[in-house]
Amino acid sequence: MLRGATLLASMALAGATAAQDSLRLDSLHLAPGASAVIQLKENPSTGYVWRIDEAAGAGLDAVAIVDGGRRPGARLPGAPGTHRWTVRALKPGVVIIPFAYQRPWEPAPVETRRIRVVIAP
């Protein structure tokens, strides 16, 4: 488990299947008022982007999530980069933030990630 007021989590996309990723659950602990940065690699030039799957989430009212957008990894057209979100703990509880990596026009993601946030003083 990862502890601290700030977390920078980089999760690579290589080497895992969608079934394996569905089981992946990364955790972090935050005190109310603390924040963490979640960073996922993506390449929108392929059509794939990360999004938060709010319907599959739990306890999302205990956090404020700010989408920091995409940061290019290189200044070349089509180069992969990262997508960032800042998560701020609002009140005690347990939150599940599910992320889906997919093309908007396709019915299912090719990869998923779930972040479990435990908020306690």
Q: Residue 19: in which H helix or E strand, if any?
A: helix 18-23
Q: Three-state SS for 56? A: helix
Fold entry, domain 2-119: Immunoglobulin-like (2.60.40)
Residue with tokens 């739990």: 58
pLDDT range class, residue 24, cuts 50, 70, 90: low
Q: Do residues 113 and 98 touch, judged by C-beta distance below 8 A?
A: yes
Q: Do residues 52 and 80 touch, judged by C-beta distance below 8 A?
A: no
Angle at 82 between CA 46 and CA 116, to 5 degrees: 110
How confident is the model over 83-109, as pLDDT tens digits? 999 999 999 999 999 999 999 999 999
Q: What is the mean pLDDT of the chain?
A: 81
Domain boundary assignment for the chain:
2-119
Q: Is the pLDDT assigned to residue 67 strictly greater than 80?
A: yes
